[in-house]
Amino acid sequence: MRRLYFLVPDTQMAKAIVDDLLRARIIWRHIHVLADHSVTLDELPEASLLQSSDVVHALERGVALGGATGALIGLVALVFPPAQLVIAGGAVVGLTVAGAGFGAWTAAMIGIAEPNGRLARFREAIREGQILIMADVPPLREEEISQMVAQHFPQADMEGGEPTTPIFP
């Protein structure tokens, strides 16, 4: 899937674009609308925390850093066992998993309060009252959907697209 971004000046145009996307068989759950808190998004698919916050990126970093820290602590405990205890490899695995879990939890708590870094280029326009429409479309239909929106709504700014999934799993 590819995520297309459109900036529109008002909710009426946003509703019309969402209706056109639905008629073009883009599923409701693949359309996300983000606006300033002063704008009411009646009958529009509002962006969830996954789209509007940095929780996913923070979660990835938290798992990596927490897991690495847990593994390091486990290895140190294996090499220098406390109070003459015998520590096996299971402790390293356990501490790695515990560290990854703790890192994921704390990073997600922080990331949920941070705005999505991918949407930084749209922050000023959203603050000024514009509405951001994000549509997840199949790569083969990207050009078709972009042309449809540009043809029906010349006032809508097509702001490009990007993959919705990372390159490396």
Question: For the domain with range 2-52+118-163, which CATH number is right: 2.60.60, 2.40.30, 3.30.70, 3.40.50?
Answer: 3.30.70
pLDDT tens digits for range 99-115: 999 999 999 999 998 98
User: Among all chains, which residue has been given the structure tokens 């979660």?
Assistant: 59
Q: Measuring CA to CA, which residue among 2, 1, 118 is closest to residue 53?
A: 118
Handedness of CA 7, 149, 151, 119 (dihedral sign): positive
pLDDT tens digits for range 11-51: 999 999 999 999 999 999 999 999 988 888 888 999 888 88
pTM recorded for the entire structure = 0.77
Q: What are the domain boundaries of the chain?
A: 2-52+118-163, 55-111
Please report the pLDDT score of residue 169 as a whole number.
47
